Chain A
Amino acid sequence: MSRRPYVRKIERNWWLSQPRYVSYMLRESTCLFIALYSALLTDGLIRLSQGQEAWDSYVAAISSPPGVVFQVICLGFAVIHSVTWFNVTPKAMPLALKGEPVPPKVIVGAHYALWAAVSLVVLIAAGV
């Protein structure tokens, strides 16, 4: 009796085959927009170092319609990143208080609370 195992090859678009893989890829794709925004911020720092005029034209550029559209898209993906990141924190760092496991909702909730606090700090720092 001869063995001849058959190997099934994975397809390049494997991630389209199931909803869970599509959401995984959506989550992963947020990194592209985080990177692009970092590039935008880098440009900002460079212009800041070049003086008032350069900085003012940078602010004008990020305030322009294409600048706003790009950043709103980035904002959407950034929020997807935040939500998906916070949701998995209980798995990566399970906590126990006095021998009892802390409920996952509490761990996630704490992250959202911190997110609100940090966001407030950013808004106040930028506005002051």
Chain B
Amino acid sequence: MAKSSKPILWLPFAAGGMAAAMITPALLLVTGLLVPLGLMHLPYDKIAGFAHNPIGKLILLGILALPALHAAHRMRTTAHDLGLGAGFGVKLVCYGSAWLMIILSVVALLRI
């Protein structure tokens, strides 16, 4: 037994869990109900303008990446709970999907 390096996975899980808990529901309310109902609008100029700003880029990345990393770790542990094992394949799918989203987002944000 030796000290584990699990914190490198658990810290994003914890931070992401708090971010997801605080931000995601309101965001879902906006994109999932308020915008479809026409009560709010997300015009290209406004959102792209926000994303032009480096702080804006960081915020957009944060509200995407943190919950994604939280979900990745939880999916991996849940897969183990469900008897799907803890092998490399499970880790690749769980963390890989989150990191793919993050990389695609970074590339997209840098283009704006």
Contacts from A to B (Cβ < 8 Å): 12, 15, 25, 28-32, 34-35, 37-42, 44-46, 48-49, 51-52, 55-56, 59, 62-64, 67-68, 70-72, 74-75, 78-79, 81-82, 85-86, 111, 114-115, 118-120, 122-123, 126-127
Contacts from B to A (Cβ < 8 Å): 17-18, 20-36, 40, 42, 44, 47-48, 51, 60, 63-65, 67-68, 70-72, 74-75, 77-78, 81-83, 97-98, 101, 104-105, 107-109, 111-112
Min CB distance A2 to B, Å, is 32
Choose from A49, A81, A122 the contact partner of B109 (Cβ within 8 Å).
A49
Choose from B26, B51, B101, B111 the contact partner of A38 (Cβ within 8 Å).
B101
Please count the residue pairs between chain A and chain B whose beta carbons lie under 8 angstroms apart in the complex: 157
Min CB distance B106 to A, Å, is 9
B residues near A63, Cβ cutoff 8 Å: 35-36
B30 touches A123 (CB 8 A): yes
Q: Once the chains are docked, how many angstroms separate the CA of A25 from the CA of B21?
A: 17
Q: Once the chains are docked, how many angstroms separate the CA of A12 from the CA of B109?
A: 43
A residues near B63, Cβ cutoff 8 Å: 41
Contact A34/B108 with A48-B47, A68-B36 known, Cβ cut-off 8 Å: no
A28 touches B78 (CB 8 A): yes
B64 touches A41 (CB 8 A): yes
Choose from B22, B35, B72, B104 the contact partner of A46 (Cβ within 8 Å).
B104
Min CB distance A100 to B, Å, is 25
Q: Once the chains are docked, how many angstroms separate the CA of A74 from the CA of B25?
A: 9
Choose from A34, A55, A68, A81 the contact partner of B32 (Cβ within 8 Å).
A68
A residues near B109, Cβ cutoff 8 Å: 45, 49
A residues near B34, Cβ cutoff 8 Å: 123, 126
Choose from A25, A41, A82 the contact partner of B22 (Cβ within 8 Å).
A82
Q: Once the chains are docked, how many angstroms separate the CA of A74 from the CA of B111?
A: 29
Min CB distance A95 to B, Å, is 16
Which among A25, A45, A71, A115 has the highest number of chain B CB atoms within 10 Å? A45
